[in-house]
Every structure is written in structure tokens, then in C-alpha cells.
Homo-oligomer: A and B are copies of this chain.
């Protein structure tokens, strides 16, 4: 759960090239060092409940968290997956709009909110990077709305697999390719919550893709993609668009 000591400085931070602080000059990083602290969570633990008062904003350093909403009767919808470098919280707002839950073991780098808001006004690099990240998030959220509103169960599963495959390839500094293997970071239930399906439908559609030769399974979580084109064809997306993304 603890990171090695040398990872606890901005200098050695694994997300220093992508996070909200990635544009900072050394002296700005020093200022950030003064107001930051790390927190770790085990898989399944809540990080924030919707409505909670937030005394910090944070970056995901390692692990995955989910952003989700739950209705009174228990229906829940995941509205975002937070991966390393993603930002949690928002300057200028006091309470959290959504639940944040650690999906895997998770470490986040927290900045005390008031001082961070101060830095935002004095350090345009931070504000500019946050704007850029927020605009990207907004585009992703809108792309996901097409998945939720218009795709079939099979297309939804294929879309999720394609996204995880691409992200995983990027993380390993490789390009996604035929024969690639990756691990599903989510349970069937989390996938269902992300896709607006039930866990039974998720299970059935994964079996269907396996029977159709689109994917192979090694255990419940390890996925092999014999043909990336075949998988992308199942997403329902325009082919050019998928490759471009």
C-alpha cells in the first residue's frame, strides 16, 4: 500500500508528465510539495461520498478509481473511470458531486484545497493544464453518452474492451495489436455499472464474444484479442474513427 520513499517526491513521480502539475517549473513544484500529501486505499474502499465536504483535490498516482452515482432504489451508474494522472475534485466547489471508490488498490496525491486554489490564480500553468484535462474529460464523457444511449449490449461490451485494450497498450508504451493480452481491471458488476447493463447481460455477451472467436479468455479476467479489427468491428463505431482515437 505504501509507495517506495523515492516515489514520494514530485521529481520521481510516475505521473509527472501527465498530471495537473505536468507543466510546472521546479519552483512551482516546490510550492506544490508544501501542500501535498499522499493517501492510499484498498480495492473496494470508498474515497469520497457524494455530498461530502472536500478539503482537498487530488491526482490519481497509481491504481484505478470509479466515479459513480446511485439512485434511491440502488440502481447505480458509473460516470467515469479515474486512471493514473486523472484529477479528483474541483477548485471552487465545496462538496463532491459523485461517489469516488477505489476499484483496485489506489494511491492519490492530495493537495489542500484552499492553498491549491491560491496557486491556481498565481500559476497559470496549473490552471491551463487543468482546463485542458477538463476539456478532454468532457469529450470522453460525451463519447460515452453515445455508448450508453444508443449501443446494443454486444457493442457496449466490445467498446469497453476496446477502450481498455487501447489504454493498456498506451500504458505499456506499445500500440494495440493483434494477439495482445490484457487484464480486466473491473468485476462483471462494475462493467455492468459502467455500461448501463446487468451483470448477467455482461457475462452473457462476454461469452458470446468468446464463442464468436472475437476474444479468448484465460481465467475470468485475462483477455486475448486475436484480431483487433474484428473487435473494433463489433463496437459499431466507424472504423476510421476507432483507429484515429
Interface residues of A (CB under 8 A from B): 67, 69, 71-73, 75-77, 79-80, 90, 92-93, 97-98, 121, 124, 127-128, 130-132, 134-135, 137-139, 141-146, 148-150, 195-196, 236-238
Contact = CB atoms under 8 A, between A and B. Distances in A.
Contact of A145 (B90, B93, B144): B144
A238 B138 contact: no
CB-based closest 7 A-B pairs: A149-B196, A79-B142, A148-B148, A141-B141, A77-B149, A77-B146, A148-B149
Copy number in the complex reads: 2
Given A79-B143, A124-B127, A149-B195, 10 more contacts: A77-B146, A79-B146, A98-B142, A124-B124, A131-B134, A134-B138, A141-B141, A141-B145, A145-B148, A150-B196
A40 B191 CA distance: 43
B72 A238 contact: yes
A144 B149 CA distance: 10
A137 to B, nearest CB: 6
A43 B37 CA distance: 52
Contact of A236 (B71, B90, B97): B71
A150 B76 contact: yes
B238 A97 contact: no
Contacts of A195: 149
Given A77-B149, A128-B127, A148-B149, A237 B71 contact: yes
Contact of A150 (B71, B130, B134): B71
